[in-house]
């Protein structure tokens, strides 16, 4: 494996072993232990699109492991605005760093960058394409909650059309035999070619507009934000989006071990009353972004994570 | 007999290339693919919708005084993957060629997805479409992985 562009770059065995590394790195991510595994290594953070969590968690992951980070900075003041091609930008950063994390508005940009680069590329989102490091932290959180990734029933809800996190996650879950329920407004359905792909891989996929009526079957409910600007007018948005808002009272019939995830930021789709229920896992999920990215940085830089790490109870 | 009759519909060529067994109605696309549609220096004869034992009906193209290369002919895979090609020298068949699709179509067409990274014409890496199925022909962009619409693809020739 050179870089991580889509989940297809990882075998199921790779996924299990990276998640096991992440588990062992938890005390370091929490700041309870210090282990400079990546000392002397430099991460290039190339975010051509705004990002808070992904960029910060990459930076935190690198620094917790003793490594350093250089940032592209604001795209508006960088060489990109002068018309530099992605190819040229990558040539430059490739010479400065040992590994690159990038997000780009155009689909396929990460694969393109990997073909142009000598160092590994970590895809932090390319257009409506893939977001595999988010998928790894989602899988980590699901495994933490259920002790397994196998055979779960997972509802993915909200904007399934443009939400790249749900595209990568669906592909990964199907590889572990999960049953998928896609709950979305008609306008924001999972792209047909993705549903087709998943079914070709033997997936059990149900498409519905009814989120609340299916919650009692779920082991995991993965919520996403529905953006107003996807709709022609605000009335239509208000009419549709209401059906994809979770309130604590909607969870009465949920399985006791069911967990709710969200890639964040949330707006109205999860009411604050859900935060104090046993189902809420989205803040742990955001924290897990650091530990999952620590494990991925080590893997792509060929740094072995020790089997025993002192300083924590993980 | 039918094939012989078809070949006589247009004059036999002395030197050049004959592309036979093009699916009916696709000959104009083939000319476009081979960049012959705007080329006025080469005599080209076209026969369309003639009977064929193998295909029911077919198109034939004859290009005079020009021997198409294998890499030019491989472009035909997009619309006429089963066509048969003969290089003609002094009125007789000197060489027979087949279209070779391979597992990737490289630098022939641009991905049809409007938000693909390859839409920036200044990006220098090769345009690459992976062949994921041959029957029916299914292509996906190597970079953005979007499946390609073959009818649209023909307008994206490089």
The pLDDT tens digits for A16-51 are: 999 999 999 999 999 999 999 999 999 999 999 888
Interface of B with A in 67-106 (CB under 8 A): none
- Asked if residues B141 and B148 have their Cβ atoms less than 8 Å apart, the reply is yes
Q: Which residue in B has a C-alpha nearest to residue A116's C-alpha? A: B125
Is residue A54 part of the annotated active site? The answer reads yes
- Asked if residues B16 and B67 have their Cβ atoms less than 8 Å apart, the reply is yes
Mutant choice from B141, B144, B147 vs A, greatest count of A C-beta within 10 A: B144
Residue B46 sits in a domain of what CATH number?
Answer: 3.30.70.140
Report the alpha-carbon distance of residue A130 to residue A27 in Å, rounded: 29
Q: Which residue in B has a C-alpha nearest to residue A194's C-alpha? A: B146
The closest alpha carbon to A26, from A261, A290, A285, belongs to A290
Q: In the structure, what pLDDT confidence band is assigned to residue A314 with cuts at 50, 70 and 90?
A: very low
User: What tokens were used for B44?
Assistant: 């080209």
The pair phi, psi for residue B4, each rounded to 5°, is -60, -40
Could A107 and B143 be called an inter-chain contact, meaning their C-beta atoms sit closer than 8 Å? Answer: yes
Report the alpha-carbon distance of residue A1 to residue A299 in Å, rounded: 9
State which CATH number among 3.30.1390.20, 3.40.50.1370, 3.30.420.10, 3.40.50.10190 fits the domain covering A7-130+288-300. 3.40.50.1370
Exposure string of A253-283, with b = 16+ CB inside 10 Å and e = fewer, is ebeeebbbbbbbebeebbeeebeeeebbbbe
> What mean pLDDT comes out for the span A279-283?
97
Domain boundary among B52, B80, B98: B98
The pair phi, psi for residue B134, each rounded to 5°, is -105, -25
The closest alpha carbon to B125, from A110, A2, A113, belongs to A113
Sign of the dihedral defined by the CA atoms of residues B32, B37, B41, B47, in that order: positive
Calculate ∠ Cα A248-A280-A166, nearest 5°.
Answer: 105
Q: In the structure, what pLDDT confidence band is assigned to residue B69 with cuts at 50, 70 and 90?
A: confident
Its domain, for residue B111, covers: 104-156
CB pairs under 8 A between A and B: 59
List chain A residues with CB under 8 Å of B115: 105-107, 127-128
pTM: 0.87
Report the alpha-carbon distance of residue B10 to residue A259 in Å, rounded: 73
Neighbours of A298 (CB within 10 A): 22
Neighbours of A49 (CB within 10 A): 17
Query: Do residues B92 and B112 both lie within one domain?
Result: no
- Asked if residues A23 and A17 have their Cβ atoms less than 8 Å apart, the reply is no
> What mean pLDDT comes out for the span B148-157?
86
Query: Do residues B77 and B142 both lie within one domain?
Result: no
Domain boundary among B82, B98, B114: B98
Query: Do residues B67 and B139 both lie within one domain?
Result: no
Q: Which of A83, A107, A116 sits opposite B116 (nearest CB)?
A: A107
Domain positions in chain A are 7-130+288-300, 133-285
Q: Which of B123, B144, B145 sits opposite A86 (nearest CB)?
A: B123
Is residue A171 part of the annotated active site? The answer reads no
Predicted pLDDT at B2: 54
Tally of domains within chain B: 2
Tell me the pLDDT tens digit for each residue of A176-232.
999 999 999 998 999 998 999 899 989 999 999 999 999 999 999 999 998 777 777
**Cβ partners under 8 Å of residue A94, min gap 6:** A100, A116, A117, A118, A119
Residue B111 sits in a domain of what CATH number?
Answer: 2.30.30.20
Report the alpha-carbon distance of residue A106 to residue B118 in Å, rounded: 9
Fold assignment, A133-285: Rossmann fold (3.40.50)
Query: Do residues B110 and B89 both lie within one domain?
Result: no
Report the alpha-carbon distance of residue A89 to residue A86 in Å, rounded: 5
Q: In the structure, what pLDDT confidence band is assigned to residue B35 with cuts at 50, 70 and 90?
A: confident
Domain boundary among B58, B76, B98: B98
User: What tokens were used for B47?
Assistant: 């026969």
Predicted pLDDT at A71: 92
Query: Do residues B35 and B109 both lie within one domain?
Result: no
How far CA B89 is from CA of A195, B5, B16, B34, B70, in Å, comes to 52, 21, 7, 20, 17
Exposure string of A94-112, with b = 16+ CB inside 10 Å and e = fewer, is beebbbbbbbbebbbbbbb
Supply the Cα-derived Rg of chain B in whole angstroms. 17
Is residue A53 part of the annotated active site? The answer reads yes
Query: Do residues B8 and B43 both lie within one domain?
Result: yes
State whether residue B116 sits within 8 Å of chain A by CB. Answer: yes
Predicted pLDDT at A121: 98
Report the alpha-carbon distance of residue A218 to residue B14 in Å, rounded: 73
Mean pLDDT of chain A: 93
Query: Do residues B65 and B89 both lie within one domain?
Result: yes
Predicted pLDDT at B40: 81
Is residue A103 part of the annotated active site? The answer reads yes
Query: Do residues B92 and B146 both lie within one domain?
Result: no
List chain A residues with CB under 8 Å of B123: 85-87, 112
User: How far B117 CA lies from chain A's nearest CA (Å)?
Assistant: 5
Q: Is the pLDDT of residue B88 over 50?
A: yes
Q: In the structure, what pLDDT confidence band is assigned to residue A164 with cuts at 50, 70 and 90?
A: confident
Q: In the structure, what pLDDT confidence band is assigned to residue A169 with cuts at 50, 70 and 90?
A: very high
User: How far A295 CA lies from chain B's nearest CA (Å)?
Assistant: 26
Is residue A118 part of the annotated active site? The answer reads no
Q: Catalytic: which of A24, A41, A54, A245?
A: A54
Could A193 and B146 be called an inter-chain contact, meaning their C-beta atoms sit closer than 8 Å? Answer: yes
Query: Do residues B147 and B79 both lie within one domain?
Result: no
Of A308-312, B33-37, B129-133, which has the strongest mean pLDDT?
B129-133
Query: Do residues B69 and B145 both lie within one domain?
Result: no
Could A86 and B141 be called an inter-chain contact, meaning their C-beta atoms sit closer than 8 Å? Answer: no
User: End-to-end CA distance of chain A, in Å?
Assistant: 27
């Amino acid at each position: 494996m050179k870089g991580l562009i889509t989940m297809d770059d990882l075998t199921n065995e790779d996924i299990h072993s990276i998640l096991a590394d992440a588990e062992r790195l938890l005390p370091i991510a929490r700041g309870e232990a210090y282990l400079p595994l990546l000392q002397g290594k430099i991460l290039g953070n190339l975010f051509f699109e705004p990002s808070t969590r992904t960029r910060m968690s990459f930076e935190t992951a690198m620094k917790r492991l003793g490594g350093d980070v250089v940032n592209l900075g604001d795209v508006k003041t960088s060489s990109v605005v002068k018309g530099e091609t992605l190819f040229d930008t990558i040539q430059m950063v490739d010479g400065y760093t040992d590994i690159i994390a990038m997000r780009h508005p155009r689909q396929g940009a990460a694969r393109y960058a990997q073909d142009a680069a000598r160092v590994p590329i970590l895809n932090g989102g390319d257009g409506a394409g893939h977001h595999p490091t988010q998928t790894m932290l989602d899988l980590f959180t699901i495994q933490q909650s259920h002790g397994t990734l196998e055979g779960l029933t997972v509802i993915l809800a909200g904007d399934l059309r443009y939400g790249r996190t749900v595209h990568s996650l669906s592909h990964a879950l199907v590889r572990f035999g999960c049953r998928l329920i896609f709950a979305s407004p008609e306008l924001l359905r999972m792209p047909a070619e993705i549903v087709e792909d998943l079914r070709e891989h033997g997936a059990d996929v149900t498409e519905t507009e009814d989120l609340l009526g299916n919650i009692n079957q779920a082991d995991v409910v993965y919520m996403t934000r529905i953006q107003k600007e996807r709709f022609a007018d605000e009335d239509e948005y208000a009419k549709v989006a209401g059906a994809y808002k979770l309130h604590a009272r909607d969870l009465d019939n949920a399985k006791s071990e069911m967990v709710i995830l969200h890639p964040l930021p949330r707006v109205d789709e999860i009411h604050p009353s859900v935060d104090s229920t046993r189902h809420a896992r989205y803040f742990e999920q955001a924290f897990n972004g650091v530990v999952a990215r620590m494990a991925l940085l080590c893997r792509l830089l060929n740094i072995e994570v020790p089997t025993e790490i002192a300083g924590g109870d993980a | 007999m039918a094939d012989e009759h078809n070949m006589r519909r247009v004059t036999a060529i002395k030197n050049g290339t004959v592309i036979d067994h093009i699916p009916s109605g696709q000959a104009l696309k083939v000319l476009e693919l081979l960049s012959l549609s705007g080329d006025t220096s080469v005599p080209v004869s076209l026969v369309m919708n003639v009977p064929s034992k193998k295909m029911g009906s077919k198109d034939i193209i004859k290009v005079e005084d020009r021997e198409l290369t294998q890499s030019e002919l491989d472009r035909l895979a997009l619309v006429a993957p089963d066509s048969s090609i003969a290089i003609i020298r002094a009125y007789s068949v000197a060489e027979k060629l087949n279209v070779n699709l391979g597992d990737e179509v490289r630098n022939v067409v641009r991905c049809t997805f409007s938000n693909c990274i390859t839409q920036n014409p200044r990006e220098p890496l090769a345009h690459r479409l992976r062949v994921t199925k041959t029957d029916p022909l299914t292509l996906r962009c190597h970079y953005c992985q979007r499946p390609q619409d073959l009818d649209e693809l023909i307008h994206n020739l490089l």
